[in-house]
Amino acid sequence: MLRQLLPRCGRALRAPATLRSSQILPLQTWQTARCYSIKPAAASAAKVLDLDPTKLSIQKTEKPKTLVDPSKLIFGREFTDHMLTIEWTSNDGWLAPSITPYQNLSLDPATCVFHYAFECFEGMKAYKDKNGDVRLFRPDKNMERFNKSAARIALPTFSPTALIELIARFAKLEERFIPNERGFSLYLRPTLIGTQKTLGVGAPHSALLYVIASPVGPYYPTGFKAVSLEATDYAVRAWPGGVGDKKLGANYAPCVVPQLDAASRGFQQNLWLFGPEEYVTEVGTMNLFVALRDKETGQKELLTAPLDGTILEGVTRDSILGLAREKLAPEGWLVSERKITMPELHEASLDGRLIEVFGSGTAAIVSPVRKISWKGKLVDCGLTEHEESGEVALRMKNWMEGRQYGDEEHDWSYKC
Ligand SMILES: *Cc1c(COP(=O)(O)O)cnc(C)c1O
């Protein structure tokens, strides 16, 4: 292995000790770090390390950015002053984490992430509460999912509590970017990439975990706006045994064309169906909830698709299910994770039993649906002409925000 790998390290080797003693590594040292990791001496001496927040070094920017007027924020366009980075090598494990000024990465064109999509990511937010404290929302769920995504594509996993601690430090450092207003937050994007320089397909021997942050405003600045969907009939997002239940970058680029097609016909999002039964799975990059009445008994039911491998395990999905079991079930609602087909949804709509339909995800929390275009029909999802949201979606948004912004002290909220 040594002979195979060494010629690929097109850089001079320096002593491993020099590298490890340096707390702030220039970002360009990945290739060099990889070369060290395959030196036999370093390999035999090194103990593979887990992520260690106590080793964090912080190098603050000398050019703090000017804050953008919160009302002018566009999702994912502005970034904060700094970034959190942690390198990993198969021999040494996780190296010392660092917070540095936000900057470009420098990677060899042969780096495996560019060729074979060794990339997974997370999407989570930091909120400011009424006392000005910074809070994360259920970060343990994001870390659990991040580790599952990483493991599926042979990238390294890490201690979830260690990364939460580091992300909390980072979010707190960037707190001036979080407007102290309802609906505003700091969107955090943990990203993990394989950095090995090789065109050979295999498990990367080096990786980089980084977290960047983008201040964001409310998804609906002027209140809910119900969207209309087009059911996609020629493409499948996810399938049993596939990777649609993981947050891998490779899952997202193929979703854009169906999205553009839907948009060209005036629909804001596309609806993903699965199989000849036409099971309703997800909407765009959100989970989907349906509220309806039972045909025979009239029993009210809030349902979402089960986690059968074709559904992304949304943290918002899980939270809505939890809130529904806690607050709607006592009102007589049935709360289910079960499959529903497009013909069943259509029938409920025709019978007037469809109460409401909404998407769920970190960006919008809930996104109400007005109608679905399917097989030349427009399926009405239960809103009256003048409504932009149903009752359930609205209540869910308020309950979620109560916990996200720390109005209600709850163990879903993590104070940084
Ligand atoms: C991220 C994502 C969701 C929503 O997950 P949250 O954790 O609630 O933000 C749903 N579906 C897909 C395909 C996603 O990528």
Q: At 191, list the tokens.
A: 């990203």
Between 111-115, 221-225, 321-325, the lowest mean confidence (pLDDT) is in: 221-225
Q: Is the CB of 285 under 6 A from ligand 1?
A: yes
pLDDT digits (tens, 9 = 90+) for 1-47: 333 333 333 333 333 333 333 333 333 333 333 333 334 444 444 47
The reported pLDDT for the residue numbered 73 is 86
Q: Pick left, alpha or beta for residue 289 (phi over 0 → left; psi -120 to 50 → alpha; otherwise beta).
A: beta
- Residue 416: band (very low, low, confident or very high) from pLDDT cuts 50, 70, 90: very high
User: How far is ligand 1, taken at its centre, from the CA of residue 283, in Å?
Assistant: 10
DSSP letters of 276-310? Answer: TTTEEEEETTEEEEEEEE-TTT--EEEEE---SSS
Q: What's at 336, amino acid-wise?
A: S
Which atom of ligand 1 approaches the CA of 316 most closely? 8
Cβ of 247 less than 6 Å from ligand 1: yes
| Higher pLDDT pick, 27 / 106 | 106
Lowest mean pLDDT across 11-15, 360-364, 394-398, 406-410: 11-15
Residue 21, φ and ψ in degrees, nearest 5: -75, -20
Q: How confident is the model at residue 75 (pLDDT cuts 50, 70, 90)?
A: confident
User: What does the alpha-carbon distance between residue 198 and residue 218 come to, in Å, rounded to a whole number?
Assistant: 42
How far is residue 242's CA from residue 202's CA, in Å, rounded to a whole number? 19
**pLDDT for position 307:** 97
User: Given this model, what pLDDT does residue 225 score?
Assistant: 93
For the chain, what percent of residues have pLDDT higher than 70?
Answer: 89
Mean pLDDT computed over every residue of the chain: 90
Residue 15 pLDDT: 37
Atom of ligand 1 nearest to the CA of 362: 9
Average pLDDT over residues 44-54: 79
**Is residue 312 over pLDDT 60?**
yes
Q: What is the pLDDT of residue 23?
A: 36
* Residue 66 pLDDT: 92
Q: Which atom of ligand 1 is nearest to the CA of 247?
A: 15
Does 131 have pLDDT greater than 70? Answer: yes
Of ligand 1's listed atoms, the one at least distance from the Cα of 255 is 13
Nearest protein Cα to ligand 1, atom 12: 285
Centroid of ligand 1 to alpha carbon of 22 (angstroms): 38
The pLDDT value recorded for residue 21 is: 36
Mutate to test the pocket of ligand 1, among 120, 124, 285 (most ligand atoms within 8 A of CB): 285
* 393 contacts: CB under 8 Å, gap ≥ 6: 224, 289, 356, 358, 366, 367, 368
How far, in Å, is the centroid of ligand 1 from the Cα of 407?
A: 24
What integer pLDDT is reported at residue 304 of this predicted model? 98
Would the CB of 312 count as within 6 Å of ligand 1? yes
Ligand 1: atom nearest CA of 313 is: 5
Q: What is the pTM of this model?
A: 0.88
Domains delineated in the chain? 2-10+26-59+69-216 (3.30.470.10), 227-409 (3.20.10.10)
Highest mean pLDDT (candidates 64-68, 70-74, 241-245, 407-411): 241-245
* Residue 378 tokens, joined: 């427009």
State the distance from the centre of ligand 1 to the C-alpha of 20, rounded, in angstroms.
37
Please tell me the residue having the least CA distance from ligand 1 atom 6.
314
Over residues 353-375, mean pLDDT: 97
Are the CB atoms for 342 and 348 separated by under 8 Å?
A: no
Task: Quote the ligand 1 centre to 314 CA distance (angstroms).
Answer: 5
Q: Give the span between the Cα atoms of 187 and 171, in whole angstroms.
A: 10
Amino acid 2: pLDDT: 36
What pLDDT sits at residue 48?
85
User: How far does residue 226's CA lie from ligand 1's centre (Å)?
Assistant: 19
> If you average pLDDT over residues 220-247, what whole number do you get?
94
Distances (CA, A) of 388 to 32, 223, 366, 395: 55, 8, 12, 13
pLDDT digit string (tens) for 153-173?
999 999 999 999 999 999 999
Atom of ligand 1 at shortest distance to CA of 244? 13
Ligand 1 centre distance from Cα of residue 341 (Å): 21
pLDDT at residue 158, as a whole number:
97
SS3 for 303-360, per residue?
EECCCCCCCCCCHHHHHHHHHHHHHHHHHCCEEEECCCEHHHHHHHHHHCCEEEEEEE
Residue 114 three-state SS? helix
In tens, the pLDDT along 242-297 reads 999 999 999 999 999 999 999 999 999 999 999 999 999 999 999 999 999 999 99
Average pLDDT score over residue span 183-204: 97
Indicate which residue's Cα is closest to atom 10 of ligand 1. Answer: 286
